[in-house]
Amino acid sequence: MFQTFKEWFWLERFWLPPTIKWSDLEDHDGLVFVKPSHLYMTIPYAFGLLIIRHFFEKFIATPLAKSFGIKEEVRKKIIPNTVLENFFKHSTRQPSQTDIYGLAKKCNLTERQVERWFRSRRNQERPCRMKKFQEACWRFAFYLMITAAGIVFLYDKPWVYDLWEVWNGYPRQPLLPSQYWYYILEMSFYWSLIFSLGSDVKRKDFLAHVIHHLAAISLMSFSWCANYIRSGTLVMIVHDVADIWLESAKMFSYAGWKQTCNTLFLIFSTIFFISRLIIFPFWILYCTLILPLHYLEPFFSYIFLNLQLMVLQVLHLYWCYFILKMLRRCLFMKNIQDVRSEDEVEDEEEEEEEENEEITKGKERDCLKNGLGANRDLIPNGQHGH
């Protein structure tokens, strides 16, 4: 059965233009062509990147974070409560006012104490700034490296400057070593992000990130097997060039350098809008959707490739919504706050306000106690309160 499925899956009509056979893409005369088996190496390379990431975060990102004044946070301990813990885990992390009233009665606590418990409990699971900085620093380092490599790999390629060259000779286009490493490293990185989803910081757009990573891997794998390497390298460079600025903005945000963060975010937004809302649909999609029709009749892999690219464009519009919200804050509130983390920050700020309030009340009590102690000697004997 598996052999039958394998033969069906790799039928030429799914992957190649009509009249082209897999035998046409066999290595010959020193020319190497793409092979699906090449992609097996992305998995061990992904684990290799996870190992590199571990040491990078430990020996580079962490010292860098400390130099910016970011410290390991000590979480405020909460009083264990089985009823509240079960409700937190199995019902909701954000109880309604009715839930709070019922839980307060059940636990013999005040509503204020229940609210404070849930706020502290949510903050226990909130990732610390150090972890956020480490992740952003790692992604910044990789995107910087891969973008620089992409520029070096592509600057002298004719299809970068003349989109007709993308399809010249397709699919009998040999694989270059630079294309191999550019693809394999990029795919390995996205696999490593998939593998680390369980331990990385979770955001409101967690599902969108999962879809994005899977779509990226699917798109790169498919374009590799169907030998859409030239258009694939253009898609990668267009995406990577903006991500550098986003990750650097995050790093400075976590470090508290708000003005630098705002400036970098504005640069990122500009590059994002140009690269993903102008270049991608009007340059890349034009290249993959329109130009091939001058060479070939539509076939399955041509349709499937462009469907995936359109899904990617929908995700671009989705993230554009978040970026516009953050830009509005930047322009009208003079501060960028990641809208995906609003609840976390609100909890943190409320908890800090409560701690400050408790400290203030404690000081007032100490002052009253000390004041009373200092004045007791002035009260005549026999006139102390009974």
Number of residues that make up the chain = 386
Confidence of residue 200 (pLDDT cuts 50, 70, 90): confident
Distance (Å, whole) CA 299 – CA 14: 8
pLDDT score for 359: 43
Is the confidence at residue 384, as pLDDT, over 50?
A: no
pLDDT higher at 228 or 91: 228
- Residues 88 and 182 both lie in one domain: no
**Which stretch of 69-73, 109-113, 232-236 has the lowest confidence by average pLDDT?**
69-73
pLDDT score for 361: 47
Amino acid in the structure at residue 232: G
- Residues 155 and 116 both lie in one domain: no
Q: What is the percentage of the chain residues whose pLDDT exceeds 70?
A: 84
Is the confidence at residue 86, as pLDDT, over 80?
A: yes
**Which stretch of 27-41, 87-101, 153-167 has the lowest confidence by average pLDDT?**
87-101
Is the confidence at residue 92, as pLDDT, over 90?
A: no
pLDDT score for 333: 66
pLDDT higher at 288 or 82: 288
List pLDDT tens digits, range 132-149.
999 999 999 999 999 999
The predicted model scores a pTM of 0.78
Confidence of residue 376 (pLDDT cuts 50, 70, 90): very low
Highest mean pLDDT among 74-83, 206-215, 268-277, 327-336 belongs to: 268-277
Contact 137, 118 (CB under 8 A): no
Asked whether residue 11 is assigned to any structural domain, the reply reads no
pLDDT score for 386: 42
Residue 97: CB partners within 8 Å, gap ≥ 6?
111
Q: State the average pLDDT over residues 176-205.
A: 89
pLDDT score for 335: 52
Asked whether residue 338 is assigned to any structural domain, the reply reads no
pLDDT score for 38: 94
Confidence of residue 304 (pLDDT cuts 50, 70, 90): very high
Confidence of residue 151 (pLDDT cuts 50, 70, 90): very high
- Residues 121 and 174 both lie in one domain: no
pLDDT score for 75: 63
Distance (Å, whole) CA 355 – CA 369: 21
CA Rg value for the chain = 29
The last residue of one of the domains, among 332, 351, 376, is 332
Sign of the CA dihedral running 378, 381, 382, 386: positive
- Residues 146 and 108 both lie in one domain: no
Secondary structure of the chain: what % helix, strand, coil (to 5)? Answer: 75, 0, 25
- Residues 98 and 184 both lie in one domain: no
pLDDT score for 336: 52
List pLDDT tens digits, range 336-369.
555 444 444 444 445 445 444 444 444 544 544 4
Distance (Å, whole) CA 188 – CA 313: 22
- Number of domains into which the chain is organized: 2
Q: Tell me the three state secondary structure of residue 340.
A: helix
The average confidence (pLDDT) of the chain is 84
The last residue of one of the domains, among 332, 353, 373, is 332
pLDDT score for 27: 92
Sign of the CA dihedral running 8, 9, 13, 16: negative
Q: State the average pLDDT over residues 151-169.
A: 93
The last residue of one of the domains, among 332, 347, 378, is 332
Q: CATH number of the domain at 87, please.
A: 1.10.10.60
Q: State the average pLDDT over residues 23-48.
A: 94
- Residues 107 and 201 both lie in one domain: no
- Residues 235 and 90 both lie in one domain: no
Distance (Å, whole) CA 183 – CA 146: 10
Domain holding 93, by residue range, is: 82-125
Q: DSSP characters for 5-23?
A: HHHHHT-HHHHS-TT--GG
Per the listing, tokens 């520029």 go with 151
- Residues 282 and 153 both lie in one domain: yes
Q: State the average pLDDT over residues 90-100.
A: 86
- Residues 86 and 171 both lie in one domain: no
